[in-house]
Structure 1
Amino acid sequence: MDAVWQSLCDRLGTKYPIMQDGMGPSPTTSLATAVSAAGGLGSVSTPGLLTPEVELRKKLRDRMEQVAVNAEGPFAVNVPVGTLASGEMIPSSAYCIDEAIRVKLAGGPVSDHFVAITTSAGFPGGFTEQIKEAGLIHIHKAGSVRHAVKAAEAGVDVVIASGFEMGGHTHLNPVSTMVLAPQVIKELDIPVIISGGIHDGYGLAAVLAMGGAGVAMGTRFIATTEHEWHQNYKQYIVDSGEWQDMTYQGYYAPSRGLKNAALLEELPAIKATGISVDELNQWKEDRGYLAQMEGDTVKGIVVAGQVAAAIHDIVPTKVLLERMMDEAIGLLEATSSSLGALKATRG
């Protein structure tokens, strides 16, 4: 019988049990292409959630086509499905899922490489049937055991169990990865991918040892040579240290980024002016672009996870994935060879 990670790799069409998490609002097309070519599952990130519908659909379609033209393997599309304070789902979520499915059903090179939709932030049940009917794998990210179980009951194919230490939009009730991951893996009968704090072969080995189907990473993939975000952003991650991350209110849940003037000074000041929720969300989105694409790590919001403190280099994606696999295999082989001595202690 194939290991759970091997079964999922076969289903996705990947060589390695490593996935690129969705990131935004700036493009991740070059990164997704590089991850796909290196043997992982690349992800096309949703354009800014505040983008008007026609422009949003075009941007997403263009990004998918750009990856497919250069793809050597499969890719996914990531779509947050969170709700606003009013309880209403962000309309752009439905637009993006609908457009992605249109592209899949149209056939052709893009459809051939496009294998999965990843949803996050809210309950995915309203989309599962149409995603699967289109021939796509539905992957959903959850930050608690109860939400993971609910997603599985709704019919998703794969769950990403993500710990609170992750970058970008995280969870209202904080549960760390090493607390969450084994619980979700034991509770579900479907493949479980783990994210939050993963950056190397040590994390991958731990996930595979506990029965996980693979790992998903965001922050670690930012610091790669192929990623199109600004070099200053990548270097800010490499230069960050312990306790430099912080959470702040995102669109529909807390978000995690790295401390700078934008988050420590400007955000509190602008909130104190009584700015509307829509205007504040637009400010955050604009400041995300400012850091990601223009390299302003002072006035821009540098979204990243706690794991930024453990990242010390900017490397080609292929080198990263192969290094992770070598580390994980070495660790698992060493553990396997020492099991005899461990068993002997039991008498």
Structure 2
Amino acid sequence: MSVLPTRYTELVGIEHPIIQEGMGPFKTVALAAAVSNAGGMGTISMPGMSQEPSEGAAIMRSHISACAELTDKPFAVNVPVGADDNGKVLPITEAYINAVIAAREADSKVGQQLKVLTTSAGFPGAFASRIKDAGLIHQHKVGSTRQAIKAEEAGADVIIASGYEMGGHTHHSPVHTFVLLPNVTAAVSVPVLLSGGARDGRTLAAALALGASGVAMGTRFIASADNTDWHPSVAQFIVDAREGDDVVFPGVYGPARGLRTAATDRLLEIVANGEMTIDELTEWKDHALQLAQSTGDFEKGLVAAGQVASGIQDVVDAATFVPQMAREASEVLQELVRGLVPTSTVGV
């Protein structure tokens, strides 16, 4: 029985209100399965945004199948949404959404486990109804209250309120978690998850106190022994990070936050000098992110990570960490209640 049941755990059928974020553009199959097996919600990340659509879809399908073999628990898939200058969803985004729906339709076991599709970066527009019609729970990540209201009106089942301090794609208008989350929870009726700044039971308890139904974490799970698809030096890079080591750089769809490397400096030079076309630059960024994740090359690689990296001091394993984080949050909340002064004694 869950020590910390919330609206979100009830909706998606998991034990703990702890979600592993999408962490593309690379593979998170082993990590997703480990987090789901631990009672949280693991997420398969998209393979890349510069892939040829049919190739990317095939890779996504293989990752979904592999995850279903490693866990019998629910898991999610993250698909960043890109659009062209006319607002039309990009072919690679459409291919990934179609791949998720096709995987559910082709395998009844996958259909029972693959419960959630998270969209981020941009709104999926016409695909929102298709996601719902496919039987998926639709989570959408936002950086403003206006976007949250729009997503709920379009049928999103869950809102992920992502503060400016989060890793990976962030927002043009910086609103930090402590401001954004209570704004969003007051404005929408669906469950809301916090993304940005969460790392332990204390921060989960804080999120719940601000009205969230759980937390979605990426940076914390980079530094996980279960993140075996990535080069192990990336986990240590997170542990070694200190306050001020993060930087915002031009991502694929807008600003992105990561840890400063030689590649972030090189990227800023490329953009300032206009050395590449938009398509060339997108491919360069995709490759640089994958390079760091797969080889641990921090000279040529970009490391997407949030400011919370400065507070992460160890490499954890999901089987222990996820339930322990939930217990810690429950204990923090109970201790706060016990510490409150009874109203009858105030002023005595």
**Normalised TM-score (structure 1):** 0.95
d(CA) in 2 for partners of 1:183 and 1:275? 39
Using the TM superposition, name which of 324-333 and 160-169 deviates more: 324-333
**Counterpart position of 1:124:** 124
State the shift of 1:4 in Å: 10
d(CA) in 1 for partners of 2:161 and 2:326? 21
Which residue identity does 2:194 align to in structure 1?
I
State the shift of 1:342 in Å: 6.5
Which residue identity does 2:76 align to in structure 1?
A
The yes-or-no answer on 1:168 pairing with 2:135 is no
**Counterpart position of 1:237:** 238
**Counterpart position of 1:152:** 152
Count of residue correspondences: 345
**Counterpart position of 1:182:** 182
CA contact (8 A) 1:5 1:212 kept: no
Gaps of 5+ in 2: none
CA contact (8 A) 1:4 1:211 kept: no
User: Structure 1 residues 129 and 332 mapped into 2: Cα distance closer, same or farther (>3 Å)?
Assistant: same
State the shift of 1:111 in Å: 1.4
Q: Map 1:157-306 to 2 at 5 A.
A: 157-227=157-227, 228-264=229-265, 266-271=266-271, 272=273, 274-306=275-307
**Counterpart position of 1:142:** 142
d(CA) in 2 for partners of 1:185 and 1:346? 33
Using the TM superposition, name which of 7-16 and 283-292 deviates more: 7-16
CA offset digits 1:96-127 (Å, max 9, x no partner): 11111111122322112100100011123422
d(CA) in 1 for partners of 2:139 and 2:268? 35
CA contact (8 A) 2:20 2:42 kept: yes
Q: Map 1:304-343 to 2 at 5 A.
A: 304-341=305-342
**Normalised TM-score (structure 2):** 0.95
Which residue identity does 2:301 align to in structure 1?
G
CA contact (8 A) 1:232 1:297 kept: no
User: Structure 1 residues 343 and 298 mapped into 2: Cα distance closer, same or farther (>3 Å)?
Assistant: farther
d(CA) in 1 for partners of 2:342 and 2:84? 54
- Identity in percent: 44
State the shift of 1:5 in Å: 5.1
Using the TM superposition, name which of 322-331 and 137-146 deviates more: 322-331
User: Structure 1 residues 148 and 3 mapped into 2: Cα distance closer, same or farther (>3 Å)?
Assistant: farther
CA contact (8 A) 1:17 1:214 kept: yes
**Counterpart position of 1:9:** 9
**Counterpart position of 1:37:** 37
Let me know the Cα RMSD of the aligned residues: 1.9
Using the TM superposition, name which of 274-283 and 34-43 deviates more: 274-283
State the shift of 1:301 in Å: 0.6
Moved over 6 A (4+): none
CA contact (8 A) 2:5 2:15 kept: no
d(CA) in 2 for partners of 1:257 and 1:20? 17
CA offset digits 1:255-313 (Å, max 9, x no partner): 1110111112x223333252111111111111111110011122211110011101010
The yes-or-no answer on 1:27 pairing with 2:32 is no
d(CA) in 1 for partners of 2:100 and 2:4? 27
